[in-house]
Amino acid sequence: MSTFDTLLIANRGEIACRIIRTARDLGLRTVAVYSDADANALHVSMADEAHHIGAAPAAESYLNIDAILAAAKASGAGAIHPGYGFLSENADFARAVESAELIFVGPSADSIETMGDKAIAKAHMLDAGVPCIPGYQGEDQSDATLLSHAREIGFPLMVKAAAGGGGKGMRLVTGHETLADDLALARAEALAAFGSDVLILERAVQNARHIEIQVFADRYGNTLTLGERDCSVQRRHQKVVEEAPAPGLSQTIRQRMEKAAIAAALSVRYVGAGTVEFLLDENGEDFYFLEMNTRLQVEHPVTELIRRIDLVAWQLILARDGKIDINLDDISPEGHAIEVRLYAEDAFNDFLPSTGKLHKFNVDSAIRADAGVRSGDVITPYYDPMLAKLIAFGDTRDDALLQLRQALDKTAVLGVTTNLPFLRTLLAHPTVRDGATTTTFLDETYPDGPPEPAITTQTVALAAALFLRGETEAFAAHSSLRDTALLGFSSDGGLPIPLDLSLNSQLYSLTATGVGTPLITITGGGFAHQVTHDLRIDGLRKSPHHAPDGTGGLYLQTTDHHLHVLRAQPWEKTDTTASGALTAPMPGLLVALNVTAGDTVKKGDTLAVLEAMKMQHQLTAATDGVVAALHVAAGQQLSKGALILTTEDPT
């Protein structure tokens, strides 16, 4: 029987905060670890003790086994919880923890090793009688061998990193023309994320549903399932919406999947919380083993809500006494739970990651929010862009959807562009409402990415009124008179004031009348709107989220937009705005420059590869041309907008 009173969490962000909360409820002392970039992070302030473990890049901190073990020893921790991501599915880490005579809150290293490598896991599942997707998972990783097997499997096919998940090192290949490039990119992403560039190939199962089974097992052979989750709404093979139970899943398929999941867990003598993932064919009858996640899953809260349990508490209790004492009848599923992942990314610009300061972060209290950030935090380019998970529970699926949509309207995230407007649109989509999504739903619905809604004239007027109100209040706050009784008084009878504003770099020439009075009129470009001090636009009450940016501008969040409102500056063309300039669309590491000065390029050619938030982004030529000059070198860390290279007309 193992005991410990101090727990070190070898992770960061949302999951570290999540584990700390439950550990604290169980009376455990908690120890956080942090990198240079996370010195002031929420998980650091929540823990009883925190240890610095290295520089900002994950390879030098959260993936540094020696540094984490040193922190555990220094803090007197008796156990380590790995969370998810980073070292959570690293068998060497689990062995190192056990060698240090500490408790690893998770399965055995052997189980992790078997299931953590997709190639080995697939061979193991075939032996265990679990249905698997046809493909190639051999040791020969040469391009020639992979290309040969790809042709045998047929297109479309999936290229996957054998050592990891989360969409890293994964590519859908539709034809042999792009396969060589896809293999190279998948290898690079896999090596950066998991330290291994081994790949497997699988036939792409089109129009499938992603269904996963939560399992839990103790050391005495007790293995049980806690039902399924539907995670079919995915972008770049990363889940966006998850729910439990899976809508429309027959009891027959559910039971067959649960039986296969238990067989998979028993085959590796699994202990702890784990998830067995399947693809359910569009015929609704055939399903195939996808992978087993030997850790706590990101989407575990939806299972917790419908089962009224705490899986982290179960993990910690299991780590202390090793036995499950659960009556499944007491936790039979009730109601419905839906989760969305809130990312720092621009959904209307190819989902590029976003960084910067969170001037305001406030989630509606009516739902469960597992967050790893707070107002004032700085989002850096070093880690996964997920800020929080927002989870709603209802008696029915419709109830849960409605509650989640209403909560998103009341949630404020200002200062960093997020996918919040896109999530609102997504939850209102008929296919999502009907529970009829597949893994290809997002790609098919938005083949060129979701279109950005136009900024309405009402929104422009609202932004102008808030901007002027902020300036008025700032003036009053710094006025030597300090006479608040004068606020709202206008002696000029409402003379018109010209106002040029920039809303996300879109320029608006406006006129404001009645500044300093309870009613401001904003005109410009053929429109005129009246805005009251309590934000009624033409009599209609609005409830926007807004916050000053600290430099005289403001952030404004509406249903459709996250806007940065500034006084417009004279437009000056620079090299970085020239049509022949390639710039960094986000902060990141330039991992490859594929051209040199003088090279001829065609529209669509990959010129450079930028790595940000654990993903690699191909930067392509907008037009045919000749590379005129390179302004940076591979290996440099770039800021957003940095000039990478310039091209000129080939003629």
Mean pLDDT of 374-399: 96
- pTM for this predicted structure: 0.83
**Residue 97 within any structural domain of the chain:** yes
**Residue 504 within any structural domain of the chain:** yes
Would the pLDDT of 369 be above 70?
A: yes
Would the pLDDT of 481 be above 50?
A: no
Same domain, 122 and 249: yes
Same domain, 145 and 21: no
- 3-state DSSP assignment of residue 500: strand
222: domain CATH number? 3.30.470.20
Would the pLDDT of 218 be above 70?
A: yes
Lowest mean pLDDT among 326-330, 478-482, 591-595, 616-620: 478-482
- 646: which strand partners? 581, 629
Query: To the nearest whole percent, how much of the chain has pLDDT over 70?
Result: 93
From 334, 365, 398, the end of a domain falls on 334
Predicted pLDDT of residue 477: 54
List CB contacts of 493: < 8 A, sequence separation 6 or more.
none
Q: Write the single-letter amino acid at 400.
A: A
From 203, 234, 250, the end of a domain falls on 203
Closest CA relative to residue 315, chosen from 335, 300, 331: 300
Predicted pLDDT of residue 478: 52
Mean pLDDT of 486-504: 68
Of residues 517 and 213, the one with the higher pLDDT is 213
Would the pLDDT of 448 be above 70?
A: yes
Q: What is the bridge-based pairing of β-strands 223-235 and 238-244?
A: antiparallel
**Residue 452 within any structural domain of the chain:** no
Distance in angstroms (rounded) separating the CA atoms of residues 10 and 31: 9
Mean pLDDT of 606-622: 82
Active site residue 295: yes
Predicted pLDDT of residue 314: 96
Predicted pLDDT of residue 484: 40
**Residue 252 within any structural domain of the chain:** yes
Same domain, 21 and 87: yes
Residues 56-77: pLDDT tens digits?
999 999 999 999 999 999 999 9
Same domain, 95 and 160: no
Predicted pLDDT of residue 613: 64
| Consecutive H or E run containing 42 | helix 42-46
Predicted pLDDT of residue 493: 43
- 3-state DSSP assignment of residue 643: strand
Predicted pLDDT of residue 485: 37
Give the DSSP letter string of 122-165.
HHHHHHTT--B--EE--S---HHHHHHHHHHH-SSEEEEETT--
Lowest mean pLDDT among 9-23, 193-207, 346-360, 474-488: 474-488
**Residue 246 within any structural domain of the chain:** yes
Cα dihedral: 544, 549, 554, 557 (round 10): -30
Q: Count H helices, E strands: the chain?
A: 16, 40
Q: How many domains does the chain have?
A: 5
Would the pLDDT of 488 be above 50?
A: no
Predicted pLDDT of residue 579: 60
**Residue 157 within any structural domain of the chain:** yes
171: domain CATH number? 3.30.1490.20
Most confident of 121-125, 207-211, 516-520: 207-211
Residues 13-47: pLDDT tens digits?
999 999 999 999 999 999 999 999 999 999 999 99
24: domain CATH number? 3.40.50.20
Same domain, 329 and 228: yes
583: domain CATH number? 2.40.50.100
Same domain, 611 and 529: no
From 522, 547, 567, the end of a domain falls on 567
Same domain, 25 and 65: yes
Q: Provide the pLDDT confidence category of residue 490 given band limits of 50, 70 and 90.
A: very low
Would the pLDDT of 207 be above 80?
A: yes
Q: Which of 187, 235, 295, 469 is catalytic?
A: 295
Predicted pLDDT of residue 194: 80
Closest CA relative to residue 106, chosen from 84, 124, 121: 84
**Residue 448 within any structural domain of the chain:** no
Q: Provide the pLDDT confidence category of residue 412 given band limits of 50, 70 and 90.
A: very high
Predicted pLDDT of residue 221: 82
The pair of structure tokens assigned to 130 is 């679990």
Would the pLDDT of 614 be above 80?
A: no
Q: Provide the pLDDT confidence category of residue 166 given band limits of 50, 70 and 90.
A: low
Same domain, 117 and 72: no
Backbone angles phi, psi at 420, to 5 degrees: -60, -50
Mean of per-residue pLDDT scores for the chain: 90
Same domain, 462 and 556: yes
Same domain, 490 and 585: no
Closest CA relative to residue 274, chosen from 132, 163, 115: 115
What is the domain range of residue 626?
575-648
Would the pLDDT of 429 be above 50?
A: yes
Predicted pLDDT of residue 570: 53
Closest CA relative to residue 328, chosen from 243, 246, 223: 223
Distance in angstroms (rounded) separating the CA atoms of residues 618 and 187: 14
Same domain, 488 and 542: yes
Residues 224-272: pLDDT tens digits?
999 999 999 998 788 999 999 999 999 999 999 999 999 999 999 999 9
Same domain, 304 and 212: yes
**Residue 365 within any structural domain of the chain:** no
Mean pLDDT of 181-201: 89
